[in-house]
C-alpha cells in the first residue's frame, strides 16, 4: 500500500502489516460514516426543564441553568456524567481517567463547543477532588438538587451512577437533546464489551497499538511510584 519500510522488517511482516493497514483504512471510513450519520440525525426531544446546577469551584457556590451553559456564540453543549454520587466513598477510577485527559483538552474543545461535567455529589466534595487531581480547565457542576442525572441516564432510580455523555443544541430559546452514548443501554453484542465512551479516552488508543493491548487492566485513582 506504500513503499516505505521499517529497518529490518521481513516480507512476512510487511504482508501481515498491509493486511492490518487495509483494515485500518476501512475502520477510518466506517468511523467517518457513523459520524456523518450522527450529524444528520433529526431533532431530538426538547429538554423537559431548564435544569439548575450548582457551580463547583473554590469560591462561593453559584447556581447556573442548563441554558446558561451555552456561550453566546455557540449552539452546542457536551455534558459528561462523572460517577461520583453521594453514596460513593471515592469517584469512579475510569471516569477520573477520562476527565484527567479532558481537562487538558478542554481549552481546545471549547473553541468549538461548550463542555461541562455533571456530578451528583455536593459542590464542596467535588471541588476537593478536583483540587486533588489538579484539574484546571473543566467546568464542573453539581446536580445534587435536580433530576438531570436520572432523566438523561447518568443514574438509575436507585441512585446508582452511570457514565454517560449527552449533547444538547440550542435554537433561540429552545433546548433539545441531540445525541447520547447509548451502547451501554443497548442489548449485548455477543463477544463484545458494552463500553461506550472509549472515543473520549486516549488511554485505550495508546494501549490498543501495543503488543499486549488492553489486557484485563483497568485504570486506578493512584499508582505506586515507578521504579527505574
pLDDT attached to residue 185: 85
pLDDT attached to residue 165: 96
Cβ–Cβ under 8 Å, residues 53 and 148 = yes
pLDDT digits (tens, 9 = 90+) for 49-100: 999 999 997 655 599 999 999 999 999 999 999 999 999 999 999 999 999 9
Find the distance separating the first CA and the last CA of the chain, reported in whole Å: 40
pLDDT attached to residue 43: 94
CA 160 to chain centre: 18
Cβ–Cβ under 8 Å, residues 151 and 79 = no
Q: Enter the C-alpha cell of residue 195.
A: 463500553
Arithmetic mean of pLDDT, 194-210: 87
Q: What backbone phi and psi angles, to 5 degrees, belong to 63?
A: -85, 150
Model pTM above 0.85: yes
pLDDT attached to residue 57: 79
Arithmetic mean of pLDDT, 173-177: 96
pLDDT attached to residue 191: 73
Provide the residue ranges of all domains of the chain, joining segments of one domain with +.
10-40, 52-180
Cβ-Cβ contacts under 8 Å for 147 (sequence gap 6 or more)? 51
Under the banding of pLDDT at 50, 70 and 90, the label for residue 189 is confident
pLDDT attached to residue 188: 73
Asked if the 52-180 domain carries CATH number 3.40.30.10, the reply is yes
Amino acid at each position: 500500500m506504500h513503499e516505505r519500510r521499517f529497518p529490518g522488517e521481513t516480507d512476512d511482516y510487511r504482508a501481515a502489516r498491509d493486511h492490518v493497514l487495509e483494515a485500518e483504512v476501512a475502520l477510518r471510513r466506517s468511523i467517518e460514516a457513523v459520524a456523518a450519520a450522527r450529524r444528520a440525525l433529526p431533532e431530538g426531544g426538547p429538554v423537559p426543564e431548564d435544569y439548575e446546577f450548582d457551580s463547583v469551584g473554590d469560591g462561593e457556590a453559584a447556581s447556573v441553568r442548563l441554558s446558561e451553559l451555552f456561550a453566546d456564540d455557540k449552539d452546542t453543549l457536551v455534558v459528561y456524567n462523572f460517577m461520583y454520587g453521594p453514596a460513593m466513598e471515592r469517584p469512579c477510577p475510569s471516569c477520573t481517567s477520562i476527565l484527567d485527559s479532558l481537562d487538558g483538552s478542554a481549552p481546545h474543545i471549547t473553541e468549538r463547543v461548550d463542555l461541562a461535567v455533571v456530578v451528583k455529589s455536593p459542590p464542596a466534595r467535588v471541588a476537593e477532588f478536583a483540587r486533588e487531581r489538579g484539574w484546571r480547565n473543566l467546568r464542573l457542576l453539581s446536580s445534587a438538587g435536580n433530576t438531570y442525572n436520572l432523566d438523561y441516564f447518568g443514574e438509575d432510580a436507585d441512585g446508582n451512577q452511570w457514565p454517560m455523555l449527552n449533547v444538547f443544541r440550542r435554537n433561540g430559546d429552545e433546548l433539545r437533546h441531540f445525541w447520547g452514548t447509548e451502547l451501554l443501554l443497548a442489548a449485548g453484542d455477543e463477544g463484545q464489551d458494552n463500553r461506550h465512551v472509549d472515543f473520549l479516552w486516549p488511554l485505550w488508543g495508546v494501549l490498543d497499538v501495543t503488543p499486549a493491548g488492553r489486557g484485563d487492566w483497568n485504570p486506578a485513582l493512584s499508582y505506586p511510584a515507578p521504579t527505574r
